[in-house]
Structure 1
Amino acid sequence: MPTPSPRPSKRPAQEPSATAEPVDATQPDASALSLPAGVALPAGLGGSGSGRSLPRTTLKIRVFSTQPLYRVSYIIPTSDDQRYGQDDGVGSTWSHTTRVWGRPDYAAVFVQAFWPGVKVTCVITVGGRETERRTIIGPQGAMWCQG
């Protein structure tokens, strides 16, 4: 019976460098989304990794009130174009439409009316399906809307 010949060792010419810092995959990459000063990332919107190959869908945010709105701020981490923004003095209606990818939650909106007793409604639709509808009547007309 013939004796098997030993296989040659295939070692790289140079050992790989170990200069990269270890990565904790359980924590979201805070540098991936830069937010305006004073705007914190709400629970449920964090994430890490890449999902750019996931299917896209349309997200639409609508806000309307009985009085002019002071400010609408939004965070849409998986938007293809504008991931966050703030609009001031928008009148009594405001909307924003974008393409998003990945899994919910897709967006968070903070609305401020600053009129006593004003009624404010926020509606978020994803792929044509309503995922959030919230209406408040309050001393400042301020609320979070997430869907």
Structure 2
Amino acid sequence: MANTYTQLHVQFVFAVKHREAQIQPEWKEKLHKYITGIFQENRHKMLQINSMPDHIHIFAGIRPHQSISSLIQNVKTESSKWVKYQNFNKYPFAWQEGYGAFSYGKSQVPDVIRYIQNQEIHHQKKSFLEEYRKLLVAFDIDWEEQYIFKELE
């Protein structure tokens, strides 16, 4: 897009279906690389990615040629197919419906990268749902409890 200049830094957060702990340490780095490839194929810039067994954080520089919903739909669909094809799990793998998308200014980029890198440390003190609700409140997003990611069953 000629004469279009943007600087869009977005953190995406979404969960494994039913918040099941399916992302295993043995293959999570391969999943991160695969998802990074999807972002790159769509001409976006991956800044940081990390996951816990039941959810993932992705921080990227987004170009305006593709809608966020289209990008995340593509990431979820293709990565789910890839995990199934790789036979990483004995149970079917899928992402839960919905996602969070939170935008940041350039000065915040290093802090968000560190935050995502240190997910394991954060979750020793705070659950995923506590973390997610905190993001929703911090970004002043109207939300309803019935539509939040499901509690672990």
Give the structure-2-normalised TM-score. 0.34
Give the structure-1-normalised TM-score. 0.35
Higher strand share: 1
